[in-house]
């Protein structure tokens, strides 16, 4: 294989790696967004249950007609919240298809200096 073909092959492999990285970056972002939306939905439901759950909790082991009505109303609200959240998740997935995403990973650059060299007028032996 000659040098030009090797350079072309190297370039092609690098491009494939970059495309794969962008796809993985997009999948990572989608997963993070989906988790946040689901957490918001479940958090909203948990708040409703925490602050209003007493309305449909059985008293003395029996549920009153009001409690049954409140529980039915809560189930309807719960289903609407979940349906709306799931619709938004599908919309986001669809919207993400229009974007190219690249995760800018966390980077840390550590300064390197040779032992025995001076930096900013100071000597290592001080």
Q: What is the pLDDT of residue 126?
A: 45
For helices 65-96 and 3-52, the axis angle rounded to 10 degrees is 160
Tens digits of residue pLDDT in 100-117: 988 888 777 888 888 887
Task: Say what the pTM is.
Answer: 0.69
The answer on pLDDT for 57 being more than 60 is: yes
Sequence-distant (≥ 6) Cβ neighbours of residue 101 within 8 angstroms:
22, 25, 26, 29
């Amino acid at each position: 294989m000659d040098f030009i073909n090797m350079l072309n092959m190297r370039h092609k492999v690098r491009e494939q790696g970059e495309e794969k990285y962008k796809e993985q970056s997009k999948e990572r972002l989608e997963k993070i967004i989906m988790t946040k939306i689901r957490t918001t939905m479940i958090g909203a439901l948990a708040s409703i249950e925490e602050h209003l759950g007493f309305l449909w909790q059985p008293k003395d082991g029996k549920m009153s007609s009001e409690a049954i009505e409140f529980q039915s109303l809560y189930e309807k609200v719960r289903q609407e919240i979940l349906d709306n959240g799931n619709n938004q998740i599908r919309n986001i997935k669809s919207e993400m298809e229009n974007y190219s995403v690249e995760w800018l990973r966390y980077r840390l650059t550590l300064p390197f200096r040779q032992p025995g060299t001076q930096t900013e007028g100071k000597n290592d032996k001080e």
